[in-house]
Amino acid sequence: MWLALRNSKYMKYITVGGALAVTSAVSYQAKNSKHIENIGLVRFSRAGLTAANIVWMYKTSIYNTDLDPKSEEYAELRSTVHTAAAKELLALCEANKGVFVKIGQHLGGLDYILPPEYIDVLKILHSRAPTSPLEEILQVVREELAQDPSEIFDEFDPEPLGTASLAQVHRATLKDGTVVAVKVQHPFVKRNADVDMKTMEVFVNIASWIFPEFRFEWLVTESKKNIPRELDFEEEAETTIKVRKMFKHLHWLKVPEVHEELSTSRVLTLEFVEGGQVNDTDYMNEHGLDRFDVSDKLGKLYSEMIFRKGYVHSDPHPGNILVRKNKHGTVDIVLLDHGLYQTLSKFIKEEYSHLWLSILSRDVDGIRKHGNALGVGRFSFLLACMVTGRSWDAINSGIAVTKQDNAEKKLISDSFSMFFRDMTETLQLLNPELLLILKTNDLLRGIEFKLKTQNRMSSYLVMSRACISTVYEQRIEKCSNLLNKWRLHFTKNWMLFKISMYYFYLGVRHASIKHGFKMLKYR
């Protein structure tokens, strides 16, 4: 089959056939629809043309060159082709919108598996999702709430506060003067979702057939499972209410209240909460917010979700997390967009906690044992690298005491092509519950780097405390001997004390003694 594709005429047939399909679809439907981009055949054919172009790029360059794969010339060629292919994908996502933007955003967060050129190009989608016209948005509100928007709102800001792949959010004022945030689904996204996911499945399977090392079937499986959930705003409303109750003990966490009477499967009305995006350092400087406090509280929140509650917000990109100064002068975290949560089973939560504790304590046998329990077998050490975003040398040296420098970043980047097939196979084997956790880890690391708080490695220290507490509480629960229970309690508290002292040391080293005590206080 690969030999057949090496003959250029086959690629020409694919390209010409795709072009004819698009032309025929547009010609047939143009007189009957003002939304040509929402015709299934047009969307499918557009994706086909993009796939053919990308295959053609790689076929005629990287897979058809005499350059030494270790040479600088080859590296430059590879980077050029990766960038061009990523731009093709970006154009497809922006043209087809909806689910395609969602998938593009997901791909843009896979910096542990995709080349950096793809990440740099596709990450634009996190802040530049296509916007729907105001009249189309208001029509969705009419259909869903069975009233004209003017009967519900005194004001409805025509400019969206933010636009995401599946919806956009507008500030509005109710008749009683209450200011709300109205999340409205893009008009055609739900109708197009099934066709778009089938389209993606077809072309991922074709890509896997042409390039055996391209194994992204796991992404198709997860998207088919999760996107319908994200398109149901009634489920999101229920989840938002649940999360408000579940994490009410975190006094610095703000989850907006839901206006249930003004919420449906396509419209979600929420309390309006002011704040700046979590990666907006200018906003933090202007309002006197402590970046280290932001980073620490974010790490504590997600450690609580993963290791304690087993219920994890799985889309923590900067647009979904706001920060603000509270009445006490410290940082509040505002968590938005509760459309996608991952529930971890007790087994997965325990094994993942043990895996992290093994990584943090440089326990090679533990990494192998718990990686195997999570389903990846011989790829356990690779999983440890993917979970942490660090090299194996760094894990061996201790990721909680070594910061990531440019040399390590280059080593990871240079190793990409060597381990690409192994990484995609690892994702195929990995327990599905953990796929969204990997995405969450990457997004949180990206925020930490943007805030420039990574040198203190606070996320690892917060995670250490959560892992130690979780693992030892499991052992205490299973222990029937009173003396052994006492020993386990003592060991747990001693380990937590050592972690706290080390955390205090780093707080003093990177800020001040006052900062060190402050960071110990809320723990």
Q: Which two tokens stand for residue 492?
A: 């747990």
Say which amino acid occupies 72. Answer: E
Question: Catalytic residue positions?
Answer: 315
Which are the contacts of 330, defined by CB distance < 8 A and separation ≥ 6?
252, 290, 293
Give me the pLDDT at residue 34, please.
Answer: 46
Range of the domain at 14: 2-128
| 293 part of a folded domain | no
| 423 part of a folded domain | yes
Residue 382 main-chain phi, psi, to 5 deg: -65, -40
Last residue of a domain, one of 83, 99, 128: 128
CB 408 within 8 A of CB 394: yes
Dist. CA 336–CA 345, nearest whole Å: 24
Give me the pLDDT at residue 487, please.
Answer: 92
Around Cβ 27, how many Cβ atoms within 10 Å?
9
In what helix (H) or strand (E) does residue 155 lie, and over which residues does it extend?
Answer: strand 153-156
In what helix (H) or strand (E) does residue 181 lie, and over which residues does it extend?
Answer: strand 179-185
Nearest to 262 by CA among 137, 138, 145: 145
Dist. CA 341–CA 440, nearest whole Å: 11
Q: Label residues 75-91 b or e (16+ Cβ within 10 Å = b).
A: eeebeebbbbbbebbbe
| 56 part of a folded domain | yes
Q: How many domains does the chain have?
A: 2
| 278 part of a folded domain | no
| 197 part of a folded domain | no
Q: Label residues 382-392 b or e (16+ Cβ within 10 Å = b).
A: bbbbbbbbbbb
Say which amino acid occupies 351. Answer: E
Sheet of strand 321-325, all strands in order from the earlier edge strand to the far edge: 253-254, 331-335, 321-325, 276-277
| 247 part of a folded domain | no
Last residue of a domain, one of 87, 108, 128: 128
Dist. CA 66–CA 77, nearest whole Å: 12
Around Cβ 410, how many Cβ atoms within 10 Å?
10
Nearest to 320 by CA among 304, 307, 302: 302
Question: Distance of CA 455 to CAs 111, 267, 285, 438, 447, Å?
Answer: 20, 42, 19, 21, 13
Angle between helix axes 40-59 and 189-210 (nearest 10 degrees) is 30
Last residue of a domain, one of 113, 128, 143: 128
| 134 part of a folded domain | no
- Given a cut of 70, the residues of the chain with pLDDT beneath it are 1-38, 40, 112, 213, 400-401, 416-417, 455-460, 503, 506-523
Give me the pLDDT at residue 301, please.
Answer: 93
| 169 part of a folded domain | no
